[in-house]
Amino acid sequence: MTYKTIDSLPDLSAAQMTAAQMLAFTPLSIPITVAAWDVRIDFTDFQMRTPGDDVFSFSAIAGISYDIFSRSGHAPSMIKLYDGSGNVIAARYDPATYDEHSVIMNDFIAPYSGLYYVSAGWIQSAASPTVSLSIYGDETRAPGLLNMIFGTPGSDSYIRPTYLNDYIDGDAGVDTVYAAAPVGAFSIVLDAGTITLSERSGDKSVDELHNIEVLEFSDTTINMAYVGLAQALYVSYFGRAADVAGLKSFQAQLTALGAPASVGEFSARYATDAAVKGLIDSFGTSSESHALYSGDNKAFVKAVFLNLLNRTAGQAGLDFWSGAIDSGALTRANASLSIMAGALANNSFQGHADAALVHTKIDVASNFTFALQTEKASAAYTGAEAAAVARTLLRSLNADTDILDFQASVKEAIGKLPPVPRSALEHLAELPPADGDAALVLLTGIDSIHHAALLG
């Protein structure tokens, strides 16, 4: 049994350990599934306490994760955890963002089974004497196994991953996973509806998320609603992944339209919904789409197949789609999305292969856009050269591509984006410091004259 101690903080005295009140866990009558808690300690006092009378003892189980909440009239000074000998082994001062009176220590993993001490760090005042200490634990999870977190049938607005490797299923409703760090601290990979959220540093936990609609970070929020459909529009018409701002913009527009999430249903509304028609036309009649798809209707269909399905169109498919455009039954503006919808609905052997490739392209396009945020490369993804990098990436896919393994190629493509032009201030910051020993330069002014003389 080895663990680190924090020697910069004072240990508990023998008197403090003797006086510490023993707290015992009790089962939660209704387990708090979104946090995987099943036992808890709750202590509350409404009276002024003697300074220093904030030390308690409790028993913990090795390998189990515990969350500790301290609350007082003013934000507690610090939560400190001690081992059975009074040595500090963990400390946290991080006022809760939702409550100026609380400090939270998340995911303390007990290094051994036995006695621990905790100092709540309360700061009371006569006007606000109430204090409380709560400790929650997930003692039903076998140490070393994947941590299971399940949401409720309703909408869960705060599902928080632990420092362990978590399997999180939000169940029904609109469920939010909250990660208390910037988005750049994570890698986000979408694969057939499953989100893999991986930490880049620290304990480097890897979480598997199911039925999660919102990812909330300390600096941004990623709404998963319409990510697939928005990326389908970009892939269909531009042959590339969406940029970060574009993805958010079209997600907002699709939300405002109350649009169906599936490509087939959305494309089918083109003929009956003017707002949907306008959004699709904004893609299909854009200069970027025209540059990708040109020529007569047969040449147009061939280009769509090559861009979307990475193959030439068969004669029957070529005649069907070009004939629909020739007759006016299908507009060129809606043709790319309609061809994608047809590929996703085709139950032939070729259709299944095409559908698998389309799904893979949409997921990889999503991961590319996520990586623009996590790699802080959003500004680099602009212009024809950057678009060509993304198109090359998507054209390298096939129906059997392993999306998780392919993430390395996504990061490599991000690294190939053209550099962002640097500002004058950034260049100035790189100049060498002034030479303090250099000779002084005399600057001499002139008498005031009319400013026109300065223009020559």
Assigned CATH topology for domain 14-137 = Jelly Rolls (2.60.120)
Radius of gyration of the chain from Cα atoms? 30
Cβ proximity of 361 and 369 under 8 Å: no
What is d(CA 266, CA 263) in angstroms, rounded to the nearest whole number? Answer: 5
Contact at 8 Å (CB) between 370 and 221? no
- Give the model's pLDDT for residue 109: 87
Q: How confident is the model at residue 426 (pLDDT cuts 50, 70, 90)?
A: very low
Count CB neighbours of 299 within 10 A: 12
Sheet holding 206-210, edge to edge: 147-150, 166-169, 206-210, 194-199, 186-191
Q: What is the mean pLDDT of residues 63-91?
A: 91
Rounded-to-integer distance, Cα 85 and Cα 3, Å: 13
Question: Of 377, 405, 411, which is closest to residue 393 (Cα–Cα)?
Answer: 411
The tokens 């240990």 sit on which residue? 11
CATH 2.60.120.380 domain range(s) in the chain:
14-137
Q: How confident is the model at residue 243 (pLDDT cuts 50, 70, 90)?
A: very high
Residue 33 has pLDDT above 50, yes or no: no
pLDDT at position 454 is: 34
The closest alpha carbon to 70, from 39, 50, 48, 91, belongs to: 91
Mean per-residue pLDDT, 218-243 = 91
| Beta bridge partners of residue 117, listed in sequence order | 57, 82
Could you read off the pLDDT of 253-274 as tens digits, one per residue? Answer: 998 888 888 999 999 999 999 9
> Token match 């140490």: residue?
143
Sheet containing 37-45, strands listed edge to edge, beginning at the edge strand earlier in sequence: 26-32, 37-45, 131-137, 65-71, 102-109
